[in-house]
Amino acid sequence: MFEWLPISKRAGFERLVDLLDPTEYGLQEVVDWLTAHINDKVAGVLVEFPYIDKDYRSTYYHYYAKKGRAYSSQSARLHFFPKGWELASSPLTLSQPAEGTSPRDEAVSKDYLGFMNLRPTRINTIGRTVLDPSAMVDVGGWIIGHKHKAHVLGHRVATRGFPFMQQHTDIAVCAHTACWAILRHYSERYSLYREVLVHDVSRLGREFDPGGLLPSLGITAREVERIFAAVGTYPLLVMRGKDDAKGATRYYDELLAYLDSGFPLFGVQSERGHAVAVVGYRLADKAQGVASDYKASEWDYVSHLLVVDDNHHPYMPVPRVKTGAAPYSLDEIDGFIVPLPEKMFLPAVNAHTWAIDFKTDPPPEFEELASESDLVVRCFVTTTASWQRFIREHAMRLNADFVTAALELTMPQFLWVVEYATRDQRSRKEIQARVLLDATAGPYDPFPAFLVHDQKGALWIDRANKSPMQYQQFDKPVAALAKMANNLQEF
At residue 464, the pLDDT reads 85
Q: What pLDDT does residue 319 have? A: 95
Average pLDDT over residues 56-75: 94
pLDDT of residue 244: 53
For residues 374 and 434, the model is more confident at: 434
Helix segments in 220-298, DSSP class H: 221-230, 250-260
Determine the pLDDT at residue 163: 98
- Sorted by sequence, the CB contacts under 8 Å of residue 354 that are 6+ apart come out as 418, 437, 448
pLDDT of residue 292: 46
pLDDT of the residue at 287: 87
Find the length of the chain.
Answer: 491
Q: Is pTM beyond 0.75 here?
A: yes
Apex 93 CA angle, 87 and 94, nearest 5 = 55
User: Residue 237 pLDDT > 50, yes or no?
Assistant: yes
For 296-316, write each residue's pLDDT tens digit: 889 999 999 999 999 999 999
What rounded mean pLDDT belongs to the chain?
A: 92
Res. 136: pLDDT tops 90: yes
Residue 25 has pLDDT above 80, yes or no: yes
At 61, the amino acid letter reads Y
d(CA 487, CA 189): 12
Q: Please say whether the dihedral angle defined by the alpha carbons of residues 129, 131, 137 and 139, taken in this order, is positive or negative.
A: positive
Most distant pair of Cα atoms in the chain: their distance: 79
Residue type, 7: I
pLDDT digits (tens, 9 = 90+) for 377-403: 999 999 999 999 999 999 999 999 999
| pLDDT confidence bin for 295, thresholds 50/70/90 | low
CA 31 – CA 3 distance, rounded (Å): 16
Cβ atoms of 186 and 180 closer than 8 Å: no
Per-residue pLDDT averaged across 97-125, rounded? 88
pLDDT band at residue 41 under the 50/70/90 scheme = very high
The number of beta carbons lying within 10 Å of the beta carbon of residue 152 is 19
Those residues whose C-beta lies under 8 Å from the C-beta of residue 190, and which sit 6 or more positions away, are none
Among the listed residues 208, 264, 211, the one whose alpha carbon sits nearest the alpha carbon of residue 233: 264
Say which range, 20-24, 157-161, 244-248, 317-321, has the weakest mean pLDDT. 244-248
Whether residue 435 contacts residue 356, with contact meaning beta carbons closer than 8 Å, is answered with no
Q: Are 297 and 283 in contact (CB under 8 A)?
A: no
- More confident site: 90 or 116: 116
Query: Residues 6 or more apart from 382 whose CB is under 8 A from it?
Result: 261, 390, 414, 415, 417, 484, 486, 487
Give the model confidence (pLDDT) of 181-203 as tens digits.
Answer: 999 999 999 999 999 999 999 88
- Terminal CA-to-CA distance of the chain, rounded, Å? 34
pLDDT at residue 10, rounded to an integer: 74
Highest mean pLDDT among 99-103, 264-268, 466-470: 264-268
The confidence score (pLDDT) of residue 99 equals: 66
* Secondary structure of residue 307 in the 3-state scheme: strand
Which stretch of DSSP H or E encloses residue 111? helix 105-111
Q: Is residue 207 pLDDT above 80, yes or no?
A: no
Say how far apart CA 222 and CA 201 lie, in whole Å: 14
The 3-state DSSP class for residue 122 equals: coil
3-state secondary structure (DSSP) of residue 176: helix
User: Residue 218: which pLDDT band, with cuts at 50, 70 and 90?
Assistant: confident
Average of per-residue pLDDT across 356-376: 92
Mean pLDDT, residues 258-267: 98
The average pLDDT across 51-69 equals: 94
The pLDDT, as a whole number, for residue 424 is 93
Provide the pLDDT for residue 103: 79
CA atoms of 404 and 181, how far apart (whole Å) = 40
pLDDT tops 70 at residue 101 = no
- Rounded Cα gap, residues 252 and 52, in angstroms: 41
Taking alpha carbons only, the member of 187, 130, 184 closest to residue 159 is: 130
| Residue of 445 and 466 predicted with greater confidence | 445
- Check residue 100 and give its pLDDT: 60
Q: Alpha-carbon distance 474 to 458, whole Å?
A: 8
